[in-house]
Chain A
Amino acid sequence: NAGVTQTPKFRVLKTGQSMTLLCAQDMNHEYMYWYRQDPGMGLRLIHYSVGEGTTAKGEVPDGYNVSRLKKQNFLLGLESAAPSQTSVYFCASSLPPAGQGFRKPQHFGDGTRLSIL
């Protein structure tokens, strides 16, 4: 009963380095999301996906790319990390919002703490 699993849990990068955060869910959810959480700002949506092979921009997409090659996985990439991307990143998954999805909450992973020096 893993739910949503994020790897890695912690990472320190130098400015300009690249990395990929992995999110995996085992609930057969269609929708997946990447958020970042910063002090005093709440969670903000970076990118989301409504199904395998599709992605869309959220509120703060600049500097990030995503891919959804398999239904159960959603990858978040930083091509050239910047100090402003220091944050806690959360992945979530859900049923489609319409219909039954509005009756069920999103499921969140435990987060990835990323520091860019």
Chain B
Amino acid sequence: KQEVTQIPAALSVPEGENLVLNCSFTDSAIYNLQWFRQDPGKGLTSLLLIQSSQREQTSGRLNASLDKSSGRSTLYIAASQPGDSATYLCVIQGAQKLVFGQGTRLTINP
């Protein structure tokens, strides 16, 4: 059974810092790995999707990596801004369904 773990559960950093969010998963047989953002009271917004055959994806200040052999992914956020404050979810796509991590709640302090 696929399990997805995100560490830390919460993170607070000053504005402007670079930061890394971590995700680990137990089964390397995945179709893709996705990072979503969730703002309070809102749904999930897709940030990056890394296909099984890929190693990383970049979008603006965000970079996500995937290492299937070790069961790890990282989300790197450069030059953090207060608007980046949200919960970030790591999600694994299996054959029929998604498996969600519990998220990292990120706070960027001005």
Q: B-contacting residues of A (Cβ < 8 Å)?
A: 4, 33, 40-45, 48, 58, 90, 92, 97, 102-111
Contact of B97 among A42, A58, A105, A107 (CB under 8 A): A58
Q: From B97, which residue of chain A is reached at the shortest CB distance?
A: A45
Q: Interface majority SS on B: helix, strand, loop or mixed?
A: strand
Q: Report yes or no: B100 in contact with A108, Cβ–Cβ below 8 A.
A: no
Q: Report yes or no: B100 in contact with A105, Cβ–Cβ below 8 A.
A: no
Contact of B51 among A42, A102, A109, A111 (CB under 8 A): A102
Q: A-contacting residues of B (Cβ < 8 Å)?
A: 4, 31-32, 34, 36, 41-46, 49, 51-52, 89, 93, 95-98, 100-103
Beyond the given pairs A42-B4, A97-B93, 11 more chain A to chain B contacts, judged by CB atoms under 8 angstroms and listed by A's residue number, are: A33-B97, A42-B101, A43-B98, A48-B96, A48-B97, A90-B44, A102-B51, A103-B51, A106-B46, A107-B46, A109-B43
Q: A33 contacts which chain B residues (CB < 8 A)?
A: 97-98
CA distance A59 to B23 in the complex (A): 22
Q: Report yes or no: B49 in contact with A110, Cβ–Cβ below 8 A.
A: no
Contact of B95 among A97, A106, A107, A110 (CB under 8 A): A97
A to B CB contacts below 8 Å, 28 in the list: A33-B98, A41-B102, A42-B101, A42-B102, A43-B100, A45-B97, A45-B98, A48-B97, A58-B97, A90-B43, A90-B44, A97-B31, A102-B51, A103-B32, A103-B51, A104-B49, A105-B34, A105-B36, A106-B46, A106-B98, A107-B46, A108-B36, A108-B44, A109-B43, A110-B41, A110-B42, A110-B43, A111-B41
